[in-house]
Amino acid sequence: MVSLLIATRNAHKVGEIRAILGEGVRCLTLDDFPGAPEVVEDAETFAGNAARKAEALARWLAERPNVKPGTETGEWYVLADDSGLEVDALQGAPGVHSARFAALDTGHPGNSSAADNNAKLLRLLAEVPPVERTARFRCVLALTPVPRFPAGTAAAPGRAGEMVLRTELFEGVCEGRIGLAPRGQGGFGYDPLFIPAGQEATFAELGEAIKNRMSHRSRALALLGAKLRD
Ligand code: IMP
């Protein structure tokens, strides 16, 4: 059986990934690997951040065969994601800075609250008419097979640094536009402001089931699921 370390502690994301991948893939998360390193997400693209995370964890796992339960029984992969909102009138911002968009102005460390991020977005778009408020959510998933050391070579910390990794990327996009005011109670982040193409309601009003049918994350996951079921 294929085993997947999902590089997140976000239970919502893990549930979504498990539901799409089904029974054939054993899913573990960072909660199952308390010693796993924190990876800084400071790349300039979603793909760069996702690959950086997946590859750092794949090398870490390769060097520690004993921390992988059932390691003899099949392929191991690391799955990492990065996602965010791109607003055309803001030249693609907040982009990779989506989680800490408001904090960019204050220098405050860590992520900003969704309320602060949404307030900043509305402020920057105050003069922008509805037809020019086009935007999209983008999600990139990086899947990295955990490399194996050649027979007779001992795995040890620091030894996987030079190993060549075969990372694959899967991208999902959901087009839409930014509303004039927050609406709805569901979802998280920018959901109360994001109206997907073909709808009049925001993601936060549409609710999880409908959002999951069209979201950037579910589209990227569908591509990944097809690959893992091959
Ligand atoms: P990450 O991929 O968890 O790092 O997400 C980065 C940020 O993008 C989140 O903190 C949210 O602000 C935003 N974001 C990503 N996906 C969504 C979504 O589905 N709805 C609303 N906001 C999102």
Pairwise CA distance, residues 1 & 70, whole Å: 10
Q: 152: helix, coil or strand?
A: coil
> Model-level pTM greater than 0.85?
yes
Active-site residue (options: 31, 32, 42, 82): 82
Backbone angles phi, psi at 201, to 5 degrees: -90, 155
For the stretch 20-40, pLDDT in tens is 888 888 899 999 998 999 999
Q: What is the pLDDT of residue 149?
A: 75
Q: What is the CATH architecture of 2-229?
A: Alpha-Beta Complex (3.90)
Q: What is the pLDDT of residue 68?
A: 66
- Residue bearing the CA closest to ligand 1, atom 5: 83
Q: What is the pLDDT of residue 60?
A: 92
Please tell me the distance between residue 72's alpha carbon and the centre of ligand 1 in angstroms. Answer: 36
Among 121, 190, 205, residue to substitute to test ligand 1 (most atoms within 8 Å of Cβ): 190
For the stretch 92-124, pLDDT in tens is 999 999 999 999 999 888 899 999 999 999 999
Whether the Cβ atoms of residue 36 and residue 60 lie closer than 8 Å to each other: yes
Nearest ligand 1 atom to the CA of 211 is 19
Closest by alpha carbon to 189, among 204, 207, 171?
204
Backbone angles phi, psi at 191, to 5 degrees: -55, -40
Radius of gyration of the chain (CA): 19
Please tell me the distance between residue 98's alpha carbon and the centre of ligand 1 in angstroms. Answer: 7
Question: Which regions of the chain are under pLDDT 70?
Answer: 68-73, 151-157
Enumerate the domain spans of the chain. 2-229
Determine if ligand 1 sits within 6 Å of the CB of residue 86. Answer: no
Nearest ligand 1 atom to the CA of 49 is 4
